[in-house]
Structure 1
Amino acid sequence: MGVKVVSTGSYVPDRVLTNFDLEKMVETSDEWITTRTGIKERRISEGETTSDMATEAAVRALKGRNPEEVDLIVVATATPDAFFPSTACKVQAKMENKRAIAFDVSAACTGFIYALYVADSIMRSKDVNKALVIGAERFSKIVNWKDRTTCILFGDGAGAVVLKKGEEEGILGFDLGADGSYGDLLYVPSVGSNEEFPFYVRMRGNEVFKVAVRTMVDSAIRVLEKTGISPQEIDLLVPHQANLRIINAVAERLGIDREKIFVNLNRYGNTSAASIPIALDEALREGRIGEGSLVLLIGFGGGFTWGSCVLRL
């Protein structure tokens, strides 16, 4: 018995916010943003909630299949519609599915890999045959649009995969980790905080860069060792889309050629838990990977959390 990704889907809002638009909002420039991050534009929700985007990505991933066939819905998000009910429950209702187990996972930008691990584990131990794993974020609502160090980075969107239990093994291995001592590097203050903007993203960029590169590389090495796969055997690296310099540094240390790295952050920015599933869906639609391809997913996020996964499609 194995668990396999059988289809993918993604959704991003229509509104495009370019670096030139940001030049009119804060003291920055297209050249400065592009040089330091690789980002040229990002998508911004105009009234669409996290569950709206998650539902659209899920419907696209199902590709016409009956939503009632889904036994499990796991949504990775740091920007839920509400404290409760969960975003997953809202997705379940919007798809008119009344039978699936539904809950959220919060691990910031590593959330999708954590959610994938949870869904995979449940499917192997329970009578769950089909699952939806979704990464969805509306970071535009927790960004301080007067803070030029963070508002340039984030965007909104959602990505989803359908997992199915069967004879073929498609999820070959995971490596997950966390270190809460790095929590003050990237965070959003809690309710009741005395800070001026209690619900806005805070980030210490230089420190995040160093920890992100190290933890992603170490996690990737561990999962490749567990699965007995060399970096050269990987057909495509799909990393969390946070910063092009981070992605290039990770790929270089792993010895993975540039042409085997999928990058779309230039168009979407950092969509947190949504970035990996959006990128995976686009890579499939563009023909960069297909049936039988070996794919390495790597992510890091506030917490600090990190994780990696090897898939055979």
Structure 2
Amino acid sequence: MSHSRFESIGAYLPSKRVTTEELVSQLQETPEFDLERITGVKERRFRDTTPENGEDSFALALKAVQDCLSRSQYAAEDLDVIISCSITRSKDRTKMYMEPSFAGAIARTLGAREDTISFDLSNACAGMMSGVYILDRMIRSGAVKRGIVVSGEAITPIAETAVNEISSKYDLQFASLTVGDSGAAVVLDESVDESDRIHYIELTTASEFSHLCLGMPSDKTAGVALYTDNRKMHNEARFLLWTDTQRNFMEEQGLTFKDEGFDYIIHHQFGAAAIPYMNAIAEREFGHPMPPDLNVIEKYGNTSSTSHFIVLHDQLSQQSIPTGSKVLMIPAASGVVGGFLSTTISSLKV
């Protein structure tokens, strides 16, 4: 069976920086905890909302695709598949679109072939990982040769809603203050070398936790809101969804975590305090130390569905990931979605 690889990567981050201190200073009630210390988020990027340069989900996605293709060996007309994975779906500055599809609009804007397969999917913060999962399977099956997975997240309106609505010292909207806007894209093609390959990707959903993180219209104003019960989300039962699933997968393959020899791990960027706890649980469950954690939460916050690829792009741009490194990527999303992706990176550059 064929395997896929990450052939190129692109990202776009708006220039406007907003600090956690700035957001907290706007709240009616000062929280009982240090939000910056607990989350690790010092600042995040906010989309440009000026009339002349207004940025929306589509604009962020398109800029990330253009950045990705600028360092790819492929042009838009070479792509067999375009998958758009945004949670937020703003286009033309303010309108929210469900149809026509973002992927189709991106294909037309880029000048992709008429027979290019294009579709949207949304799976909360595991959106891009889900897109990679599907494209990986399409390449493995021989149905296609190459494609691109993209997401543009203009998600900071939930932070703006939270600032306006939080009125108690503990509120289910506090997690909304950690998000940042971004775009990310990756091209996948067929791997011909074990040192440059997606070895496996698996996702799973545990619906019993689905009520703990809900995005919806606000129940107070006309804004869009995210309600997250962090106290119940960040516990051992939820984190075991990853370790149990990966351990079972490895046992079926006759592998141990130690055998895998991961050089780095990238978690979903949802909280600096929670990730060490996850790693401690994983060390206990796998019986082996976790590799160094790559993160950008301090400067970009939680960029939702793009987060793993914003980390990867950032660390590659700093040349912090040596050629031939084996990376484990761990999604965590509302739903609740867990899983794992194993990849060795050799040709991917920024």
Same fold (TM over 0.5): yes
Q: Structure 2: how far apart are the matches of 1:128 and 1:22?
A: 45
**8 Å Cα contact 2:56/2:154 also seen in 1:** yes
Displacement of 1:225:
4.4
Superposed counterparts of 1:139-288, under 5 Å: 139-143=155-159, 144=161, 145-146=163-164, 147=166, 149-169=174-194, 170-189=197-216, 195-197=219-221, 199-210=224-235, 212-225=238-251, 228=255, 230-231=257-258, 233-255=261-283, 260-288=292-320
Identity of aligned residues (%): 24
Does structure 2 conserve the Cα–Cα contact (< 8 Å) formed by 1:135 and 1:277?
A: no
1:126/1:51 CA distance change after superposition, 3 Å: farther
Distance (whole Å) between structure 1 residues aligned to residue 146 and residue 35 of structure 2: 41
Q: Does 1:129 align with 2:145?
A: yes
Per-residue CA distance 1:204-256 (angstroms, 9 max, x = gap): 11111115433233344345545635257111101110101221112223337
Structure 2 residue 132 is matched with structure 1 residue 116: yes
- Of the three residues 326, 332, 335, the one matched with 1:294 is 326
Quote the residue 1:107 is aligned against: 123
- Alpha-carbon distance, 1:74 to partner: 1.3
2:79 corresponding residue in structure 1: 70
Whether the 8 Å contact between 1:54 and 1:134 is mirrored in structure 2 is yes
TM-score, structure 1 as length reference: 0.90
Q: For residue 242 of structure 2, what is the amino acid of its counterpart?
A: M
* Partner deviation per Cα, 1:89-121 (whole Å, 9 max, x = no partner): 222223222342111221111122111111111
Q: How many residue pairs were aligned?
A: 310
- Kept in 2, the 8 Å contact 1:114–1:307? The answer is no
Q: Give the deviation of 1:133 after TM superposition.
A: 1.4
TM-score, normalized by length of structure 2? 0.81
Contact 2:153 2:181 (8 Å CA) reproduced: yes
Aligned counterpart, 1:11 = 12
Secondary structure of the corresponding residue to residue 78 of structure 1: coil
- Please give the root-mean-square deviation of Cα atoms over the aligned residues, in Å: 2.4
Letter in 2 for 1:175: E
d(CA) in 1 for partners of 2:262 and 2:311? 16
1:55 to 57, 62, 66: 62
Amino acid across the alignment from 2:77: E
Distance 1:307 1:259 in 2: 17
One-letter code aligned to 2:278: V
Cα pair 1:237 1:261 within 8 Å, conserved? yes
**Tell me, which stretches of 5 or more residues in structure 2 are unaligned?**
49-53, 91-96, 167-172, 346-350
Does the aligned pair in 2 maintain the 1:175–1:222 contact within 8 Å?
Answer: no
Distance between the aligned counterparts of 1:50 and 1:234, measured in 2? 34
Partners of 2:82 and 2:75 lie apart in 1 by 14
Deviation, structure 1 residue 266: 0.7
- Which has the larger Rg? 2
1:15 maps to a residue whose letter is K
Residue 306 (structure 1) aligned to one of 320, 327, 338: 338
Q: Distance in 1 between matches of 2:331 and 2:250?
A: 15
The answer for unaligned runs of 5 or more in structure 1 is none
The answer to which of 34-43 and 74-83 deviates more is 74-83
